[in-house]
Each structure stands twice: as C-alpha cells, then as structure tokens.
C-alpha cells in the first residue's frame, strides 16, 4: 500500500477546483482497502471515498483520508432468460463502460452516454438522463463496510434508489422508505467495489424525451438503433452541457424540485411559461434550469464561478486553463446560495444541490 501525502486534487474533481488531499491511498482492489482498514493509524482515521470526482465541490484541503477508487475490470458474468448481466469495477470510467457494452452487443445504457464520473459513483446518486435512470438497469453491487471491513452485496431494493438518491447519500439512522434495512444509511460508511447491470435481451429504445424526439424528426427515423441513440445523446449533451475537461463543472448543480399540483397551479398563474412535468402520483416536477434562468442567472458569475450560458442548471469554473487558480469551492457555494435565495424569493421553492460539498 502506497500512502501519498499532499496530493493535488485539481485533476481528480471535474470542477477542477485547486485543493490537496493531506493523505491519499489508491484502492485498486479489496486487498488495498483491507490494508488501510487494518493499519493502526489509517484504519481509525475518518475517510472520504473519491470516485471520478464528478459530483463534488471541494471547499478546502481534504483532511479525512482520501480513498481513491481505481478498481478496474468489465465482463459478462451471467446470462439469464431475460437479461445479460454485466459487471464493472467501480473505478472504470462510466462513459467508456457504456461504449464498451454497446461495442460488445449489449444495448441498454445508451441514454446515459457521456455522464461524467465512474461506474462506482453511478449508484450513489442514481445517475440518469433522457428517460433512463441507473436503477432501471441495476442488478446488484459489492461494497466494503469501512467500519468492519466486511464485504456485502446489495440489490436494487436495498439501495433505496430515488431521484438522484440512494442509501449511500444518507447517514446512519436515516429513514429510507424504499430500503430493505430502513434505518441503515451508508453515507461515509461504504466503498463500492463492483457494480452489476442487467441489460434486457428484449431491448427497445427509450424515446419520448423532447431532445431525442427532435433528433428523430431531424433524421426522419422512428426506430433508432442503440448506437444511433447513443450518438444522438452524445450530440445533445455536447451541444448543451460543458465538457468538464475544458470548463470545470459537476453537471446539474440542483435537483429538479417536485411540488404539489396546487403549488404548481399557483406558479403557473404568475409565470405561465414555467416548464413542468406531471408525475404519476399527482405531484409536478419543475425544471430547475428554467427557474434559475427566469431569475436572470444565466451567464452570471461570482468570482470565477459562473452559471453556464447554455444551461442555467450547470455551474462552471471559468478559471480552468487560465494562469490563476480558477474558482474556489467557496465561490461556487456563494453563487449556489445566491441562486437558491433568489429562486426562493420569487417562487417559494428551495432548490436542493446535487453535488456533495467536501
């Protein structure tokens, strides 16, 4: 086990915020982790699990021991009557894995192409895009309990998936309605080693999302192949969302809020153009990007932290590639709080951030 000190984290977070890990260990497999847990000093230190760094805002040097997940490997593990079960190491790049599954002839993940981050981080926030969420394709995962060193497996019900949510985002004691063990939140408690996906043999394209419908009309194609859908999703994302390698960002910064039908009617009465989607349970999801945009935030900045010009839901680091240090985590959070305040004042809605603040 190699223990590294004062490790720059700029390349390890997609916001490209400049900060250091005081101590960092790369976890390439279970034995690396067991060595950390059995180490007399490192074993008792508090720990921070770092995946692709695509959903974090770092607000200073990271003092807990950083466990950088670098578990690799991808394979077909099983074929059931209905699905191909594929497994990937938690450290695999998500988009590379999606590309590989399609190249191998296993469609099902194409709507989630180009989501930044790693395979191991994907269940933590139940990533999703263009009508498909990770939970729709999830089979199970293996993780290590950082308190006991025990390896355990969770199925979908046990992960308590919700919209950008899972058991891994809640602390012990959190009451999670969908979970098999409702009182056991796993935030800061587990390191995911491998994730398995069930990709349906009877594959059908998932369509119906406005941006995808537009592509279908443009190409006069009503039944796209998985590869066609993959290409369209990549095109749409490249046109709308900043490439983190060029402009630092963590994807959508806030979740799309859900309100009651009455609250929505009240907002529509004042702002008839509010973008909203009615959900099966009668509640209504609002487009947070629209709410932020209509408060005039698109293109605005606090220091080097800004609101992306083409999508107000995405906060960006405008300082990447310049001589300076770029945005600080503090600037990003100041901007985020100012946005939350103005959306609350205008619409009475509290926006909830998606990324984890470290």
| DSSP-assigned letter for residue 222 | S
Q: Among 252, 294, 318, 331, which one carries the catalytic annotation?
A: 252
- Pick the closer one to ligand EPU by CB: 162 or 178: 162
Instruction: Find the shortest distance in angstroms from Cβ 258 to ligand EPU.
Output: 11
> DSSP letter at 182?
T
- Active-site annotation holds for 252: yes
Strands of the sheet with 47-50, listed across from one edge: 3-8, 20-27, 65-69, 47-50
- Shortest distance, position 185 Cβ to ligand EPU, whole Å: 21
Among the options 26, 137, 164, 237, which is catalytic? 164
**Structure tokens given for 167:** 């058991």
Which tokens in the block code for residue 48? 């921070």
Instruction: Select the residue whose beta carbon is closest to ligand EPU and give its number.
Output: 251
Torsion of CA 121, 125, 129, 134, to 10 degrees: 70
Minimum CB distance to ligand EPU smaller for 176 or for 313: 313
Of 107 and 251, nearer to ligand EPU (C-beta) is 251
Q: What is the contact surface with ligand EPU in residues (CB under 6 A)?
A: 129-130, 240, 251-252, 255-256, 275, 287, 289-290, 293, 298, 311-313, 354
**Residues 6 or more apart in contact with residue 332 via CB below 8 angstroms:** 15, 17, 57, 305, 315, 317
| β-sheet bridge partners, residue 252 | 314
> How many angstroms separate the CA atoms of 184 and 139, rounded?
20
For ligand EPU, give the closer residue by CB, 3 or 274: 274
164 is catalytic: yes
Closest contact distance (angstroms) between CB of 342 and ligand EPU is: 14
Rounded Cα gap, residues 262 and 256, in angstroms: 17
CB of 184 to ligand EPU, least distance (A): 26
Which residues are known to be catalytic?
A: 164, 252, 354
């Amino acid at each position: 086990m190699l223990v590294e000190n004062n490790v720059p984290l700029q390349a390890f977070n997609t916001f490209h915020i400049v900060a250091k890990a005081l101590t960092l260990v790369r976890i390439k497999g279970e034995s690396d982790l067991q060595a950390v847990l059995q180490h007399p000093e490192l074993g008792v230190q508090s720990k921070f699990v770092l995946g692709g760094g695509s959903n974090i805002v770092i607000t200073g040097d990271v003092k807990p021991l950083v466990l950088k997940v670098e578990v690799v490997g991808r394979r077909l593990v099983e074929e059931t009557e209905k699905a191909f079960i594929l497994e990937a190491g938690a450290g695999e790049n998500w988009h590379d894995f999606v590309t590989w599954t399609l190249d191998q002839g296993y469609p099902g993940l194409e709507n989630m192409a180009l989501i930044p981050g790693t395979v191991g981080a994907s269940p933590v926030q139940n990533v999703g895009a263009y009508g498909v969420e990770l939970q729709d394709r999830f089979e199970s995962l293996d993780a290590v309990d950082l308190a006991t060193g025990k390896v355990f497996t969770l199925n979908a019900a046990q992960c308590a998936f919700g919209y950008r949510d899972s058991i891994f985002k809640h602390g012990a004691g959190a009451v999670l309605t969908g979970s098999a063990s409702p009182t056991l939140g796993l935030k800061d408690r587990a390191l995911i080693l491998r994730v398995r996906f069930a990709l349906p043999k009877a594959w059908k394209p998932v369509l119906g999302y406005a941006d995808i419908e537009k592509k279908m009309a443009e190409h006069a194609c009503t039944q796209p192949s998985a590869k066609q859908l993959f290409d369209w999703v990549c095109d749409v994302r490249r046109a709308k969302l900043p490439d983190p390698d060029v402009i630092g960002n963590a994807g959508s910064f806030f979740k799309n809020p859900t309100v009651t039908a009455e609250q929505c009617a009240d907002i529509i009465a004042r702002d008839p153009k509010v973008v909203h989607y009615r959900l099966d349970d009668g509640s209504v999801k609002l487009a947070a990007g629209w709410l932020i945009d209509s408060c005039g935030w698109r293109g605005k900045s606090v220091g080097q932290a800004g609101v992306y010009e083409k999508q107000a839901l995405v906060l960006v680091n405008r300082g990447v590639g310049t001589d300076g240090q770029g945005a600080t985590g503090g600037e990003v959070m100041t901007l985020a709080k100012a946005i939350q305040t103005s959306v609350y004042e205008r619409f009475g809605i509290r926006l909830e951030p998606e990324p984890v603040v470290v």
